[in-house]
Chain A
Amino acid sequence: GAVVSQHPSWVICKSGTSVKIECRSLDFQATTMFWYRQFPKQSLMLMATSNEGSKATYEQGVEKDKFLINHASLTLSTLTVTSAHPEDSSFYICSARRDGNTEAFFGQGTRLTVV
């Protein structure tokens, strides 16, 4: 399958700071990327969908000013958690899809801990 890479794999930050997570599709161009978060013992929750060159579409209840998503190229999307707080500590996972008729591939996830 295709390769999607996330960076960093884990990050610890202080409360009130911002953290940027990168998601790259290494061997294909992704027209659409998705961002999920996952709390312990729970399923993945879709946060937002982004198409290259356009604004992200956020799921209900996800604050767009807190979780900034940029999909500036066909191989890179970034998620910035602004003014992070301990309750933002979670496992963040990105997914990328070549087009609407193909399967999506997932990154390895980023473990964010806010202290």
Chain B
Amino acid sequence: DAKTTQPPSMDCAEGRAANLPCNHSTISGNEYVYWYRQIHSQGPQYIIHGLKNNETNEMASLIITEDRKSSTLILPHATLRDTAVYYCIVRGSGNTGKLIFGQGTTLQVKP
């Protein structure tokens, strides 16, 4: 599975959009981009995933560049409860695909 690179930390003002970048320059054609977040002392929470098209759900939007070498997770209106560590993970399809966590981005939403 391809490796990802994320900034270690980011700040965002409450109510503003939080844009979290992720580089995955070695991604291959059948690998998906997954985003999870972990609030302190809890298990990770699934946010969204995509292959090549942009995706949106009730939590967030995922923008994947045309060459698929990078992506951005967008939380449209960040709240204090969105403070967490956000993980961008690239995973192949099929039963052998594993979720390997990197260091993630610690997002601090400030009042």
Contacts and interface: CB of A to CB of B under 8 A. Distances in A.
Whether chain B is bound by chain A comes out as yes
A78 B36 CA distance: 23
Contacts, number: 56
Contacts of B100: 46
Contact of B93 (A6, A100, A104): A100
A49 interface: yes
Interface residue tally on B, bucketed by range:
20 to 34
A100 B97 contact: yes
B54 interface: no
Given A103-B49, A106-B44, A108-B42, A46 B95 contact: no
A43 B103 contact: yes
B43 A108 contact: yes
B45 interface: yes
A27 B29 CA distance: 32
A101 interface: yes
A75 to B, nearest CB: 17
Interface string A74-115: 000000000000000001010100011101111111010000
Interface string B73-111: 000000000000001000001111111111110000000
Interface of B: 34, 36, 38, 41-46, 49, 87, 93-104
**CB-CB nearest 6 A-B residue pairs:** A106-B43, A100-B95, A100-B94, A44-B101, A43-B101, A106-B44
18 contacts: A6-B43, A31-B95, A32-B95, A34-B98, A34-B99, A43-B87, A43-B102, A44-B101, A45-B101, A46-B99, A100-B93, A100-B94, A100-B95, A106-B36, A106-B44, A106-B46, A107-B43, A109-B41
